[in-house]
Amino acid sequence: MTVTATEALAAAADAARLAPSVHNTQPWRWVVRGDASELYAVPQRQLLEQDPDGRLMTLSCGAALHHALVGLAAEGWQARVERPAGAPLAVVHAVGRSDADPHAMQRMQLLRVRHTDRRVVSDEPVPEAVREALTEAARAAGARLHVLNRDQVLQLAVMIEHSGEAERHDERMRAETEAWVGGDRPGGTGLPDAVIPSELPLTTVAERDFGVSGTLAAGAGHDTAASYAILYGDGDEPADWLRAGEALSQLWLTATEHGAAVLPLSSPVELDFTRQALRRMLGELGYPYLVLRLGTADPDHAGPPHTPRLPADEVIAVEPPDA
Ligand SMILES: Cc1cc2nc3c(=O)[nH]c(=O)nc-3n(C[C@H](O)[C@H](O)[C@H](O)COP(=O)(O)O)c2cc1C
C-alpha cells in the first residue's frame, strides 16, 4: 500500500500525542496540508500562572515535534524542519522516502513505553555510561545536560523547597494545579490519581506536591541513588525552548532504552528567583530549561499506567493542499 506524505504526516502527528507535557496539558495542534504539517502551541492549554511566558508550553511542543520526527523516520520518511518559533512553531516537510531505518523503528517502540514514574528510585544508580549517553542525546538535539554534584543537589533541594512553598502559598497557582490534577480525567488531559503518589516520598529533593494524594504506591525508599541534572542551553527564547523539548524527548527515549527513569521537576524554572539561582548554578554559562531526576525504577513492581491523551481529532486537522 502506498502511503502518501499527508498520511505519513498525520500518522506522525498521531504518534506525537504520546509526548510528555507539563501537567499533561498537551498544548499542541497540528495542521497537515499536502506534504507539510504545521505545529502550533495552543494558548488555551497554557498554564498562565505557572508558565506565563510559555516556556514549558513551548518545551512540551518541542517534545511533540521530536516525537513526530521519530514517527516519520520509523516509516522511512526524510523530513526537513523549519522552526519559525512563532505561529507556527515549526513546519515539518516530508521530503522523500527510503527503507525504514531499524533504529528509528526501535525508537518508535520506546516512544510507546516512555512514561513519567513518580515512585522513588531504586538503590541502583544510573550508570555513568548511561548518564553520558543521556548527555550526548541532549547535545545531539541542540541542548545540554549538566549533572549536579553532591553539593549542588543539596542546593537544588533548598531551591525546590522554596519554589514549592511559594507555589503552594499562591492561591491562583494552587487553583491552576487543581484544574489539571486528580480524579479520572475523562477529558483526556491532566494527571489522574493513578500516577500521583498516595504519599509524598521523603526524599532529599522533594517531588512536586500536587496538593492531592493519588493512588500510586510510591515506595518507602529514598533518592540517595538518584542523579539530578539541569537541561539547559545557550538562549532563552521560544526557539530555544522548542529545541529544549526536542532534546528532552531524545534524552527520555534514550533513558527508556537503557532502563533509566526520568522525572521532570519544573517548579524551580517556573519562578524567576529559582530560575536565576539555577542559572548561577550553571556558572551563568547557559539558561536552565528543566530539572530532571534520573534513576533506576523498581524492577519488581509494575510502574504507573499511561496518562490519558486528547482524541486525535482535537489536536490534528488534515486540510486540503490548497486550503
Ligand atoms: C515541561 C514539563 C514539565 C514537567 N514538570 C513536572 C513536574 O514538575 N513534576 C512532575 O511530577 N511531572 C512533571 N512533568 C511530567 C508530566 O506531568 C508528564 O509528562 C505528563 O503528565 C504526561 O505523562 P507521561 O510523561 O507519563 O506520558 C513535566 C513534563 C514536562 C514535559
How deeply is 311 buried, as exposed, middle or buried, from its count of CB atoms within 10 A (0-12, 13-18, 19+)?
exposed
Amino acid at 220: A
Q: Give pLDDT tens digits along the chain (323 positions).
A: 568 999 999 999 999 999 999 999 999 999 999 999 999 999 999 999 999 999 999 999 999 999 999 999 999 999 999 999 789 999 999 999 988 889 999 999 999 999 999 999 999 999 999 999 999 999 999 999 999 999 999 999 999 999 999 999 999 999 999 999 999 999 999 999 999 999 999 999 999 999 999 999 998 888 999 999 999 999 999 999 999 999 999 999 999 999 999 999 999 999 999 999 999 999 988 999 999 999 998 777 778 999 999 999 999 999 988 76
| Cell digits of residue 160 | 525546590
- The DSSP string of 259-302 is TEEEEEE-HHHHSHHHHHHHHHHTTTSSEEEEEEEEEE--TTS-
Residue nearest to ligand 1 atom 21, measured at CA: 24
The finding on whether 249 has its CB within 6 A of some atom of ligand 1 is: no
Q: Is 64 in the pocket of ligand 1 (CB under 6 A)?
A: no
What number does the ligand 1 atom closest to the CA of 304 have? Answer: 26
What one-character DSSP code corresponds to residue 235? -
- Can you tell me the distance from the alpha carbon of 241 to that of 199, in angstroms, rounded to the nearest whole number? 32
Q: Side-chain half-sphere of 318: how many Cα atoms within 13 Å? A: 15
Give the span between the Cα atoms of 116 and 125, in whole angstroms: 18
Locate the ligand 1 atom nearest the alpha carbon of residue 267 and give its number. Answer: 8
Instruction: Tell me if 310 CB under 6 Å of ligand 1.
Output: no
State the distance from the centre of ligand 1 to the C-alpha of 117, rounded, in angstroms.
Answer: 9
Mutate to test the pocket of ligand 1, among 18, 21, 46, 120 (most ligand atoms within 8 A of CB): 21
Structural domains present in the chain: 5-115 (3.40.109.10), 128-296 (3.40.109.10)
* Contact 267 CB / ligand 1 (< 6 Å): yes
Residue nearest atom 4 of ligand 1, based on CA coordinates: 22
pTM above threshold 0.95:
yes
Q: Which run of H or E residues covers position 56?
A: helix 55-74
CA distance 313 to 318: 9
Sequence letter at residue 116: T
